[in-house]
Structures are given as structure tokens and as C-alpha cells.
A = this chain, B = another copy of it.
Amino acid sequence: MRISELSVRSGVAIPTIKYYLREGLLHQGEQIAATRAEYDDSHLRRLRLIRALLDVGRLSVASIKKVVTAVDDPSLPMHVTLGTAHDALSVPVEPEPGDEWRTARAQVDALLDDLGWEVAPDAPTRDELAHSLVRMRQLGLRIDLAPYAEAARRLVAEVEMDTIPFDGPRDAAVEAMVLGTVLYGRALDTLRRMAQEAESALRVSPAR
């Protein structure tokens, strides 16, 4: 298809498509004449991936570039590619000086040990969770993270992993994992806020 059809079918404006081509987010089409390139379903699919990462995952163009570069590199083991996507999705946090931070970070490490989860020692998610714990503690919120960890594990292990086509081509599996991380995460977060609205309607009398 021509770029105009690719634009209509993806809902992405032509100048934006050209920008993604220049930035290397989208692979070049097949040049069939000096001024005409031909695009196919792989371009359509990639545009939808970029759009999902942009507007659902809220990733920057630079982060998306890292993710698609990893997805496109068949020499990378799948878990390395997935790790790149996870790193891009992590909210960067700075470890804070002092005991509060050290205690929270030690609590995260102990939780992962207890759970038996294999998470890289330098995974940014460890600092991210420690950061949430520090803020909770400063605000006097005390909560047991175990039910959260168990809910997360069950959704990932019993629902999401079954949707990944591990026996198909590497690309498809990696893409499905990256997208699952973003889209199911967003859906769960939205459902949590809906549940909170519904549950507080039950518990709080409208007069308060």
C-alpha cells in the first residue's frame, strides 16, 4: 500500500509516519520508484504498536525507539528484549539518602526473596517499589504488599502468559509481551479506580 493508505488504515497522519521513518521507529517501505515506497501489514502493525506505547503507555519517542530496536534485534534473547521494555516503562526514581530509603529498599529485596521471584538485582522496578514504600511510610499508610504481589502474580501467570504465542515467531511473542505489559497494566489500573468508586459508594453514606 502507499503511504496515504497506510495513514488512513492506521489513523496516523502522513507527516507523523514520515517522522517515525526518519527516527527509525518504523522500518522503511520497499522503494518501488524514485518517489514511491510500498508499505505492508508489518508497517501497519508497527504503527499500532508505536501508538499503543505512546498514548496508553505514555512512553517518550526516545523510549519507544529503545523498545522497537530491541524487538527488532533477533540476536537478543527474549528476556533481554522484555527487560528493555520493562526498563522503558519504569518511572525513573532517584534513591534518596538516608535510612528511610535503605529500609524500604531492603523490604523490597526481602519481599522478592520470600516470593521466590527472579527479578534482576539492578532492575529499576526495585527502586520504583522502594520509592512508593517511602512515600507510604511518610504519609502514615501501612499496608501489607503480599496480597498485591499475589494478585499480580496470578494475573500474569494464569491469564497473560497464556496469551503469548511462545511457539510462533520470536517477533510475535516479544511484541505480545510488551503490549501486554502496557495494555493490561493500564486496564487493571482503570478497573482499580472503578472498584474504588463503587466500593466507596457502598461504604460512605452520601451525607458525609
Choose, from A17-25, A31-39, A62-70, A180-188, the stretch at the interface. Answer: A180-188
Q: Which of A132, A183, A203 has its CB near the most chain B CB atoms (within 10 A)?
A: A132
Question: Which of the residues B55, B82, B89, B170 comes within 8 Å of A200, measured between beta carbons?
Answer: B82
CA distance in complex: A181, B184 (Å): 18
Q: Is the CB of A148 within 8 A of B184?
A: yes
Question: Which of the residues B78, B139, B195 comes within 8 Å of A152, measured between beta carbons?
Answer: B195
Q: Quick one: which of A23-63 are within 8 Å of B by CB?
A: 45, 48-49, 51-52, 55-56, 58
Q: A52-B135, A119-B194, A197-B125 known; A159 and B147 CB under 8 Å?
A: yes
A52: B residues at CB distance < 8 A: 135, 138-139
Each complex incorporates copies of this chain amounting to 2
**A161 at interface, CB cutoff 8 A:** yes
CA distance in complex: A205, B170 (Å): 12
Q: A132-B56, A141-B183 known; A119 and B188 CB under 8 Å?
A: no
Shortest C-beta distance, A16 to chain B (Å), equals 16
Question: What string of 1s and 0s marks CB contacts (under 8 Å) between A103-124 and chain B?
Answer: 0000000001001011110010
**A4 at interface, CB cutoff 8 A:** no
**Known A118-B202, A129-B194, A170-B208; further 13 A-B contacts with Cβ < 8 A:** A48-B135, A49-B139, A78-B204, A117-B195, A117-B198, A145-B187, A148-B155, A149-B195, A151-B151, A152-B191, A160-B196, A184-B192, A185-B193
Which A residues have a C-beta under 8 Å from some C-beta of B?
Answer: 11, 45, 48-49, 51-52, 55-56, 58, 77-79, 82-83, 86, 89-91, 93, 96, 112, 115, 117-120, 123, 125, 128-129, 131-133, 135-136, 138-139, 141-145, 147-149, 151-161, 163, 166, 170, 176-177, 179-181, 183-204, 206-208
Instruction: List 5 contacting pairs A-B, 8 Å CB cutoff, sorted by A.
Output: A51-B135, A52-B135, A123-B197, A145-B191, A148-B191
